[in-house]
Structure 1
Amino acid sequence: MTKILRDEDLAGGVLMSIAIDALEAAFLARAGNRLISPPRHHVSFPDRGDLVFTVGGLMGETPIAGFRVYDTFKGAEHTQIVAVWSADDARLEGVILGERLGSLRTGAIGGLAVRHLSGPDARNVGIIGSGAQARTQLAAAAAVRNLGRVRVYSRDEINRAAFASEMQHALGLDVEPVDSVSKAVDDADIVICATTSQTPVIHSPDLKLGVHVTTVGPKTLQGYELGLDVADAAAVIATDSPEQARAYASQFFLAGSGADDRMVDLADIIAGKAAGRRSSEEMTLFCSVGLAGTEVVVASAILRSPALVRRGSFGAPQDDPSRPLRAPQDEV
């Protein structure tokens, strides 16, 4: 029987770990040319918006294939659709509707970057932004590192206080709202920048030696949230898809800076084909672009998970880090 899941079904603290493990395997497959992930395809509807399609698949002992489609139409309600097939027998495994899967996928990729690029003893986190992406990025970091202190800044005092309260309860961490970027990143081993800012909110002098930085927000020459001096200072610059970064409609923010030529595929670092962090004093930078097709990999792992089926997570919302993911991304 084909499963149909919605946002309310994607509950349970185990989800992030399932997503990270599934994507670790997918990135290793990418390094071995076994991940199918062509660029996004846009279909435009004049004066209304686009339908955006991504197709993905994984070759191996249990091959999968599928697609995601989402819209950019004007309006308050947006519903993504992810469908997964078994590539062995053409069986439709399931369909997932809603927004939560996309946020979970993006957060899990950020978690992989933290696992493979941050120092193994990284404990303190600074977060700029208090929206949906900030939530999943923190949940993913907590899944791969033994975190201690977390500080969050965003422009809206109410939003950052709500973020701190929700994530402290969800993750069992000490999460403190602060009133400036400098306070958030002070002595942070991991810095997550997840804003909608079109001008840099973080610069290299703000950061400690050995920090790992993830940028999730704007990254084009028309607007970017991270100072170019951060890329200049980084010993390692990685992304989940160099092809997507260089295929932006507006040029990638590192284009022409010299740092662009140093950007490597996170998959190659995970597979040992490219160098990652080499010392405790090196700064590392991860530019998240959302590797197309990987939603299919995460959806398949969720649909196939016996742990979730046994716990009755399908159709049974629970109190966990997934709950606040619908909060809007906040500007700084």
Structure 2
Amino acid sequence: MAKKRMTGAAVLTFEHISAVVRAVGLDGFMDDIISGLRCAGTNLDTQATVVLERSGFQYSKPDVGLIEWMPSMELGRAVGIKTVGYHPSNPTQRRLPSVLSTTSIHDTATGQLTALVDSTLLTALRTGAASAVVTHILALPTAAVVGIVGAGAQAVTQIHAISRVRQIKRIIAFDTDPAVSATLAARLPLAVPVTVVETAAEAIAQADIVCSATTVDIGAGPVLPDHGYLPHVHINAVGSDFPGKMEVPVALLRAALVVPDDPPQCLREGESQQLELSELGPSLPDLISNAAQYERYQQEITVFDSTGWSLEDLIVAEIALDHARRLGIGMYTDLQSTPADPYSPYEDVLR
């Protein structure tokens, strides 16, 4: 049998990503991401790692949506750039995920593209993993009841990831579309009783941990109540990604320790857009690197403002690539021109 080619840029399609995750196992792959994020936060060197705020295009025609790019760089090694599209009408109008994304990785020595990775599943997984990392620090060790507000795709990875750091015994779920919340239990990779309720207030009342993952319209929030929580509740708010879009009431934010994953980005388009910089708690990497200091907040209300830290995307893409190389999954191809004579741009055209 001919040996598989391992030169050129590595390409992982959605089929390759699915094959990798199946081979590693959902739990094992999620654990790898959680570990990778913890390691990145603990060892972050801001002189060697540059994480830029995401930027891009937002529009309302033909439907409300955005396409953004999320860049990060490890100096002297690699640049990762995820291009992500968010179109909340996709599931109902086109039978497509609301979030679609692709990550490219480039060698900083040469500028060459080294990898191109479908990141739609990886984005959902790393978003869940980030919540798990924060939940492990800020939720009570005995936390067992999870309240879900917004029971779509992100709810699945939120629950799965949290189950890797806390023993979930019950899920209470609410979605504005009863058909979505009714299928949540069937979509989960773990067997936990799911109680479907009719209001967000019911979903949060008995929850030790709350995850809000909605597609609330700009200006239509918040979606969470401003009272009725357990005094130790930890909230993972992952749905805010537009200026003017928010899930958590400002009164609740001001009563809580708020952890922004990327403070400037969160102040612009996360829950933190309702606050001043002085009202924010530690950033995600600061929380991770000083975990023992912040565990005392487990008895208080805490909120993780999760807008997506760009370094997460480079981390999860490289985890997938490492497993793919080990398993012999994926393909390699020369996507860029590399003529034998770098001064001859027509070399391949005229030969």
* 1:225 correspondence with 2:247: yes
Counterpart in 1 of 2:79?
65
Counterpart in 2 of 1:20?
34
Query: Which of these residues, 274, 278, 283, is aligned with residue 254 of structure 1?
Result: 274
Aligned residues of 1:56 and 1:297 also touching (Cα < 8 A): no
Counterpart in 1 of 2:71?
55
Query: Which of these residues, 170, 173, 183, is aligned with residue 162 of structure 1?
Result: 183
Residues 236-265 of structure 1: per-residue CA shift (max 9 Å, x gap): 2101100212344x9943235xx8523321
Aligned residues of 2:267 and 2:273 also touching (Cα < 8 A): no
AA aligned opposite 2:303: L
CA distance in 1 between counterparts of 2:228 and 2:330 reads: 44
- TM alignment of 1:66-85, pairs within 5 A: 66-71=80-85, 76=94, 79-85=100-106
Deviation at 1:47, TM superposition (A): 6.7
AA aligned opposite 2:144: R
* 1:179 correspondence with 2:198: yes
CA distance in 1 between counterparts of 2:243 and 2:107 reads: 40
Distance 1:255 1:209, change over 3 A: closer
Distance 1:40 1:274, change over 3 A: farther
AA aligned opposite 2:212: C
Distance 1:219 1:209, change over 3 A: farther
Residues 88-141 of structure 1: per-residue CA shift (max 9 Å, x gap): 787754321252222222222111111121112211111101112222211111
CA distance in 1 between counterparts of 2:59 and 2:150 reads: 32
SS in 2 for 1:299: helix
CA distance in 1 between counterparts of 2:299 and 2:149 reads: 22
CA distance in 1 between counterparts of 2:258 and 2:228 reads: 18
CA distance in 2 between counterparts of 1:278 and 1:70 reads: 36
Deviation at 1:280, TM superposition (A): 4.5
SS in 2 for 1:224: coil
User: When the two structures are superposed, what TM-score results if normalisation uses the length of structure 1?
Assistant: 0.79
CA distance in 1 between counterparts of 2:212 and 2:180 reads: 16
Contiguous gaps of at least 5 residues in structure 2 = 1-5, 332-351
User: When the two structures are superposed, what TM-score results if normalisation uses the length of structure 2?
Assistant: 0.75
Structure number with the bigger relative contact order (C-alpha 8 A, sep ≥ 6) is 1
AA aligned opposite 1:69: T
SS in 1 for 2:295: coil
SS in 2 for 1:130: coil
AA aligned opposite 2:103: V
Aligned residues of 1:221 and 1:252 also touching (Cα < 8 A): no
* 1:125 correspondence with 2:141: no
Query: Which of these residues, 7, 18, 30, is aligned with residue 14 of structure 2?
Result: 7
CA distance in 1 between counterparts of 2:297 and 2:127 reads: 27
Deviation at 1:293, TM superposition (A): 3.7
SS in 2 for 1:134: helix
SS in 2 for 1:264: coil
Deviation at 1:192, TM superposition (A): 0.6
AA aligned opposite 1:165: A
AA aligned opposite 1:54: M
Distance 1:45 1:314, change over 3 A: same
CA distance in 1 between counterparts of 2:291 and 2:298 reads: 21
- TM alignment of 1:82-97, pairs within 5 A: 82-85=103-106, 87=108, 92-97=113-118
Counterpart in 2 of 1:265?
283
Deviation at 1:87, TM superposition (A): 4.9
Q: CA RMSD in A?
A: 3.3
CA distance in 2 between counterparts of 1:208 and 1:72 reads: 33
SS in 2 for 1:277: helix
Distance 1:209 1:37, change over 3 A: same
CA distance in 2 between counterparts of 1:124 and 1:313 reads: 38
Distance 1:16 1:59, change over 3 A: farther
AA aligned opposite 2:296: R
CA distance in 2 between counterparts of 1:238 and 1:46 reads: 30
Answer with 1 or 2: which has the greater Rg: 2
CA distance in 1 between counterparts of 2:326 and 2:34 reads: 19
CA distance in 2 between counterparts of 1:187 and 1:261 reads: 27
